Amino acid sequence: MTWTAEALETLTVDPLKAAHYRSGTRSPGRHIRVDDTVPKFRAIDQSILIGGDAARALSLLPAESVQTVVTSPPYWSLRDYRVDDQIGCNDSLQAYLDSIVDAFDELQRVLRGDGTVWLNVGDSYTSGNRRYRAPDRKNRARAMSVRPPTPQGLKPKDLIGVPWRLAFALQDAGWWLRSETIWHKPNAHPESVRDRPTKAHETLFLLSREQDYYYNVDAVKGPRGRRLRTVWEIPTEPVKRTNYHPDDHPAMMPISLARRCVSITSRPGSVVLDPYAGAGTTLLAASELGRKWVGIELKSSFVDLIEQRMGCSDAGRTQGGA
């Protein structure tokens, strides 16, 4: 059975028994699941999980329907998710940046005027045109058998500056770049390299659609009750094997990071979106905090994983703190 957008909008959901829909099947939870071929949604009345490509799926969402986005696209040349149409693996650096900027064009339409985006992006190094990656014995999560060619103008071993290249491209596309936060990982993986410091941070940008936007400065306080600073110390969380799904996700953000972002730039009841949802950490944080959510993820086994995590969360919703 295929669900049309009209049907999806008029579904009466029994919150206790059934509520997500996958090719006509139901399982526990309070959201609906569709793929990116359904007709456009006229409104976001309940949480939605879409399996498919980010830009395509974003075009299904109504204009000005989303309050905030918390997202972490694949990092360029660091990981092969082994799925067609993925970004960041076989594409050139420029093609990767263009894909995200294109998806963000759709985001600009989908965001409310006072909406924002938290964008977490990691950096990477050039390979010097080595097309393979020697396994990093100290960081097995870096599993990628092929590497894209070195971008023009860069040298072997150069740090590429991907986050800032992306930030400038988004600024050129009309976004307001409002903040750079350093996510410091006190438990960062050791690295095998001996000619530079070991990397222990990632970048988190705050972007807005307009000059003024919703930002609750009191939602989350820093140490000693002071306003949040731009360095956040948040340990990575170990990937839990077997709890949810055999194909656990290799690049999940800590839920406390997602909770913090959701709390600051959205109100209870508003819509939180992650167009590169991975294992659904943003969606889980949004659900805990009483927000509606929309998740988009390309790889169907990760969509299954999200459903399993959300099924548990939707069934026993709790209020979480940041």
Ligand X SMILES: C[S@@+](CC[C@H](N)C(=O)[O-])C[C@H]1O[C@@H](n2cnc3c(N)ncnc32)[C@H](O)[C@@H]1O
Residues of this chain that bind ligand X (CB under 6 A): 53-54, 72-74, 81, 83, 85-87, 249, 251-253, 276, 278-281, 296-299, 302
Q: Which is nearer to ligand X, 54 or 262 (CB)?
A: 54
Question: In this complex, which beta carbon is closest to ligand X, that of residue 53 or of residue 307?
Answer: 53
CB-nearer residue toward ligand X: 26 or 199:
199
Q: From 91, 69, 88, select the one nearest 79 (Cα to Cα).
A: 88
d(CA 174, CA 6): 33
Q: How far is the CB of 71 from ligand X (least distance, A)?
A: 7
HEC per residue, the chain: CCCCHHHHHHCCCECCCECEEECCEEECCCCEEEECCCCCCCCCCCCEEEECCHHHHHCCCCCCCEEEEEECCCCCCCCCCCCCCCCCCCCCHHHHHHHHHHHHHHHHHHEEEEEEEEEEECCCECCCCCCECCCCCCCCCCCCCECCCCCCCCCCCCECCHHHHHHHHHHHCCCEEEEEEEEECCCCCCCCCCCCCCCCEEEEEEEECCCCCCCCCCCCECHHHCECCCEEECCCCCCCCCCCCCCCCCCCCCHHHHHHHHHHHCCCCCEEEECCCCCCHHHHHHHHCCCEEEEEECCHHHHHHHHHHHHHHHHCCCCCCC
Q: How far is the CB of 72 from ligand X (least distance, A)?
A: 4
In the complex, the smallest distance separating the C-beta of residue 227 from ligand X, rounded to whole angstroms, is 26
Residue nearest to ligand X (CB): 278
Cβ of residue 210: shortest distance to ligand X, in angstroms? 25
Q: What's the min distance (Å) between Cβ of 85 and ligand X?
A: 5
Minimum Å gap between C-beta 278 and ligand X is: 2
84: left (phi over 0), alpha (psi -120 to 50) or beta: beta
Nearer to ligand X, 19 or 298 (CB): 298
Q: Which is nearer to ligand X, 8 or 298 (CB)?
A: 298
Least gap, CB of 281 to ligand X (angstroms): 3
Residues with Cβ < 8 Å from 16, sequence gap 6 or more?
none
Q: Minimum CB separation from ligand X for residue 225, in Å? A: 29
Nearer to ligand X, 72 or 263 (CB): 72
Query: Which residue has tokens 């905030």?
Result: 68
Residue among 209 and 309 whose Cβ is closer to ligand X:
309
Strand partners, 132: 146
Closer CB to ligand X, 20 or 299, in the complex: 299
**18 vs 101 by CB, closer to ligand X:** 101
Which two tokens mark 150? 């070195």
Cβ of residue 313: shortest distance to ligand X, in angstroms? 13
